[in-house]
Structure 1
Amino acid sequence: MENNSEIIFVLQGLNDSLTNRQIYFTLALMLYVFTILVNLILIVTIGLETTLHEPMYVFVCNLCVNGICGASSFYPKFLRDLLADSQTITYSGCLTQIFVAYCYVFCEFTNLTVMAYDRYLAICKPLQYQALMSMHKVAKLLLLTWCFSLLETFVGVLLTARLTICSRHVGKIFCTNWEVVKLSCSNTAGNNIYTFVLTFSHLSQTGLILVSYTRLVRTSLQSRSSHRKFFQTCLPHLIALLVFATSLLFDVMYSRYGGGTLQTLQNVLAVEFLVIPPLINPIIYGIKLQQIRSRIVHNFTHKPELLRLF
């Protein structure tokens, strides 16, 4: 077999969908543009409005930045493939797509964990919140979120890059780590161990989220103000978390046990985690959080000010 760097992978996920490529291209392009637009609106609104320079909104802004990264790991290549006669990707391009997509996944999950911790402090320890969640600590948490996610992704991609690849056919419309590992004819024990460590790490984060929400619910039931604050600020986070977890679960289940169903359905299940959360998150927070919603409405109803934003 030739060196891995010389390999050109063939993406087979679009084989049954090319007859409708114009429709898929138009729909995908509209979704991508709309995803970028709604995320940018929240980023610009939070960035330029000083009253929104609070920990919760900074974390929401980071969620939107990460959402753009996640969507951009999929849409540009997918749009190109819809217009191309053959759906291929170089070995280095495949690893790059894996790196960006998985960094998005890890950053999303870690950021949602940090947001759960932030909401726990805000509702369960309101008098100590300003001291416990200063902007200096917010900066540290954001740095930790990105560094931890980049490190996780780098180690995973490095373990995959050392494998000898003995097949060219990827069964999806984009590259994923598991699909590339399945093409290997060398020992994948290191990848399996790393997957176990990664699973344990994120199960720990899940445990932290569950503990936070258990205490949040308990505290919110004790007073009317905490109850109102829970529904105003925690409900969007909980919805975003459920959307992300469900989308990711579909991809994991498809990767491990997929097959035998319609190719179009398989493709939808496979890309949900890269398409749905980046699109839904800014809409959820833009509608549910009153401070953000009122500021966006104000900007769009005062055109001169809106023009100054851009």
Structure 2
Amino acid sequence: MTNSTRVSYFTLAAYFDLGALQYLYFMIIMSLYVFIVCANVLLIVVICMNRSLHEPMYLFLCSLFVNELYGSTGLFPFLLVQILSDIHTVSVPFCFLQIYCVYTYASIQFSNLSIMSYDRYLAICCPLQYNTRMTSNKVAMLIALTWFYPFLAIFILISLSVPLQLCGNIINKVYCDNYSIVKLACSDTTVNNVYGIFYTFTTVVLVILILYTYMKILKVCFSGCKQTRQKAVSTCTPHLASLINFSCGCFFEIVQNRLDMKHVPIVLRIFLSLYWLTCQPLFNPVMYGLNITKIRISCKSVIFGKL
């Protein structure tokens, strides 16, 4: 395409002919989506209905589960339609809408994990000051900031990508990706790259904050009594596991974008590109629902109608 040609649709080139297996894949994806919706909705209802769970840690968890519903809805229905479709194209407006949903989901996820690590840091390292430093107003402000900043930051990111003149319309993914669109640009992408570096820097700051809080928590665990260690392990293990899982998924995505992966089987490439978007909504409800006693008991009460 020339510089003067405006792209009206994108072709998702990572899909391949599934034949009769497309219905099997459709049922698998549908089952995963139904599980994600049911599990996350259950946990949101449990936290909202049970007044004993109206504490900062559980409110941050509720924000996490709402975000997972949001991110899953931005991906799974689209995948289901594409699996059954013979032509894997998507209009430009819808493509950018999906990018906005997927990227804000990822950004909110990191922000949520950051404030959750800060909350655990205050609870374990500064227990006597916890109630005065983690007030209800501060909790509300942190949750609002967790959602507001990603929506604003990704809006700016998309606004820089929309005006680009493109030399092609082939995206080698099963969903729309901003980095892939920028690579198709014929026009100057300096501003996009600079803003991408700035946004990456803010994400690195969040990662450093999380690592710092866990270094402090580990220090307390090793120097404290057995009861302190047990409390720290029981409350921090699900959060740390969630963080590692999400970080691994993001790492897979970055590697795929930056390196030539043509020698890797296409099925594995698709799995790695979807890992960071699918495994968190599947992983977190199970991890938090089973490991945090209050949530586990409350879930049983809701399911069996005893709440």
Q: Structure 1 length normalisation: TM-score?
A: 0.94
2:251 aligned with 1:244: no
What is residue 288 of structure 2 aligned with on the other side?
285
Q: Per-residue deviation at 1:18?
A: 4.9
Q: Per-residue deviation at 1:259?
A: 2.1
What is residue 160 of structure 1 aligned with on the other side?
161
- Distance, in Å, in 2 between the alignment partners of 1:105 and 1:178 is 14
- Distance, in Å, in 1 between the alignment partners of 2:131 and 2:235 is 17
Which structure 2 residues correspond to residues 1-310 of structure 1 after superposition, within 5 A? 1=2, 4=6, 7-18=8-19, 20-221=21-222, 222-257=224-259, 258-301=261-304, 303=305, 305=306
- Distance, in Å, in 2 between the alignment partners of 1:122 and 1:16 is 52
Q: Per-residue deviation at 1:300?
A: 2.3
Classify the secondary structure of the residue corresponding to 1:172: coil
TM-align CA RMSD: 1.4
Residue type matched to 1:250 in 2?
F
- Distance, in Å, in 1 between the alignment partners of 2:89 and 2:175 is 9
Q: Structure 2 length normalisation: TM-score?
A: 0.95
Q: Per-residue deviation at 1:285?
A: 0.5
Against the structure 1 CA distance between its residues 137 and 200, is the aligned structure 2 distance closer, same or farther, given a 3 Å change threshold?
same
Percent identity over the alignment is 35
Against the structure 1 CA distance between its residues 274 and 79, is the aligned structure 2 distance closer, same or farther, given a 3 Å change threshold?
same
Residue type matched to 2:147 in 1?
W
Residue type matched to 1:259 in 2?
K
- Distance, in Å, in 2 between the alignment partners of 1:173 and 1:206 is 28
Residues 99-108 or 70-79, more deviating: 70-79
- Distance, in Å, in 2 between the alignment partners of 1:249 and 1:220 is 29
Classify the secondary structure of the residue corresponding to 2:14: coil
Per-residue displacement from partner, 1:217-262 (whole Å, max 9, x unpaired)? Answer: 1112212232111111111100000010001111111121122221
Could you tell me which runs of 5 or more consecutive residues in structure 2 were left unpaired when the two chains were aligned. Answer: none
Q: Per-residue deviation at 1:30?
A: 0.3
Contact 1:120 / 1:215 at 8 angstroms: preserved in 2?
yes
Classify the secondary structure of the residue corresponding to 1:165: coil
Could you tell me which runs of 5 or more consecutive residues in structure 1 were left unpaired when the two chains were aligned. Answer: none
- Distance, in Å, in 2 between the alignment partners of 1:224 and 1:3 is 67
Residue type matched to 1:162 in 2?
P
Contact 1:16 / 1:264 at 8 angstroms: preserved in 2?
no
